[in-house]
Structure 1
Amino acid sequence: MKIFWVLLRKEMRELTRNYKMIWMPIVFILFGLTEPLTAFYLPDIINSVGDLPEGTVISIPTPSSGEVLLSTISKFSTFGVLIIVLGFMGMIAGERKSGNAIMVLVKPVSYTAYIYSKWLAAFVLVWVSYGLGMISSWYYIQVLFNGIGFTAFVHGFLVYGLWLTFILTLVVFFSSLVKTPGPAGFFTIGIAIFLTFVSGYMTRTLKWSPGQLPSYVNEIILHSTWPDHLTGTIILTTIFCLAILLISPPIYKKKDLI
């Protein structure tokens, strides 16, 4: 256990050294700020930059607070997921390729401690970045719009955070499975897209699929309700994450010995 905490501190220092601890929260905060500010000032922006005939009246319906927050989450679903994948796909594969992994693992360090310390460091950074982005969006929604219920916000925040955790766990798994970062990112994004598409198409058959989490967040935010199958989806997604983490060390060790 002592070795694990030593490795975790090393990983946190590494995230600071390569500036991920700085730029990743900043990017998520910018995503969180952009949507409510753009939605509120869009008519003024169009009037100021648009070359429109005199007397033209632009009428843009004001979106609801829930719609603005979901627009922010949509940004996280595209750019946020991409940032997580690109930021961590080389976490293990990159060190294996450069030879740094061998320098660590020849010491009395278990593969389990090695992988789990990396996952936990990335988990902390992702949740801090995502949390700051969501809080930024929620604050400006409260200021510029009618506001959104705190309970619905917290529920949506936690549920979507689980989806990002699932994506992160896939990144770590594939990074331990392959020897170069590129395939790890490709497989993770491919599975995320596949799960989202199939789950959206087969809503009844795959009602407990992790890919349903973003759609359940829509119901939580817009209707302030807890979807019927969300509890089962949370449990199943958590089990998937734990199972992936459980099999990652032995698979990495097997690959490392080949």
Structure 2
Amino acid sequence: MNTALYRNEIRRMTRTHSLTGLLVFFAFFGAASPLLAFLLPDLMAAMEGVEGVQPGMSGLLPEATPVAAIGSYVENAQTLGVLFVLLVAAAGLALDGSPGRSTFYRVRVFGPTALVLPRFAVPAAAAVASYTVGVLVAWAVTLLLIGELPLGATLAGALFTGLFLVFAVAVTALVASRFRGLPSTVGFSVVALVLLLLLGQLPVVGEWSPTTLVAAQAALPGGVPAADFLPAAVSALVGTAVLLALAVRGFGSRET
């Protein structure tokens, strides 16, 4: 393994502030989501009587529980968070959007494997680390304001969600090997994941769909056994390996 290629990718993410952006994004939602879940009943009670707000609406809100708080983090960070991760990954993987950039990398990096793997591995690791930081912040704020949340189950949920994020970056790698440019790479990656999400709604496919892994973050602290998410984890791991192999092949066969 050429560690210089990985160090170069880390420097690129640091120089462009992509890593900082991911950390700040997930940490913000990690702090804000449980805080909002804790304050929302009081906020609604304070707004009662204001035009458009019916009296008693605060009593209709569900109780702020630790599991609901971590679930709020997932809901708030899921859509924008995955989109942010896809954008960061595509920025490194969309090599052929610019002929000059494409030629630069292909002259200095020998072989499509060395071209793809660092630009997959570093953004994927950054996404998992940033998401986990957000989970730990959410856990700490929940513990402080609402109640105890099992740390082991919370981290296990972060592990399963992290597998999905790695899979999403692998999807981006495959799309980048087929389409040129950042907008098309991000756009078609989003379409692919949305289609997979819709496919995962089918009962026969649901437990095997990698998109199911996101639900583990709130489910495991709530008492759902981790074994329920093992089929989706296996699909994510196998799917990631297959997608990367296809991406390497795609970049290898593409002419600059």
* TM-score, normalised relative to structure 1: 0.88
Q: Distance in 2 between matches of 1:250 and 1:94?
A: 15
| Equivalent position of 2:212 in the other structure | 212
| Equivalent position of 2:200 in the other structure | 199
Q: Distance in 2 between matches of 1:146 and 1:198?
A: 36
Count of aligned positions:
251
Q: Distance in 1 between matches of 2:48 and 2:21?
A: 33
| Equivalent position of 1:142 in the other structure | 143
Over the aligned positions, Cα root-mean-square deviation in angstroms equals: 2.1
Task: Show the 5 A alignment for 1:212-251.
Answer: 212-228=212-228, 230-251=229-250
Determine whether 1:127 maps to 2:128.
yes
Q: 1:88 to 1:226 in 2, by over 3 A?
A: closer
Determine whether 1:11 maps to 2:4.
no
The one-letter code sitting in structure 1 at the alignment partner of 2:210 is P
Describe the superposition over 1:225-248 as per-residue Cα deviations: whole angstroms up to 9, x where unpaired.
Answer: 2244x2222122101101111221
Unpaired runs of 5+ residues, structure 1, are none
Determine whether 1:86 maps to 2:111.
no
Q: 1:103 to 1:240 in 2, by over 3 A?
A: same
**Contact residue 96 and residue 102 of structure 1 kept, 8 A:** no
Q: Distance in 2 between matches of 1:124 and 1:219?
A: 23
**Contact residue 93 and residue 120 of structure 2 kept, 8 A:** no
Q: Distance in 2 between matches of 1:52 and 1:96?
A: 52
Unpaired runs of 5+ residues, structure 2, are none
SS at match of 1:204: helix
* TM-score, normalised relative to structure 2: 0.89
| Equivalent position of 2:191 in the other structure | 190
Structure 1: 4+ residue segments shifted above 6 A:
none
Q: Distance in 2 between matches of 1:32 and 1:223?
A: 21
- 1:217 positional shift: 4.3
- 1:166 positional shift: 0.8
Describe the superposition over 1:117-158 as per-residue Cα deviations: whole angstroms up to 9, x where unpaired.
Answer: 111111221122111111110111111112211222122111
Larger CA deviation: 206-215 vs 139-148? 206-215
**Contact residue 210 and residue 233 of structure 1 kept, 8 A:** yes
Question: Identity, % of aligned pairs?
Answer: 20
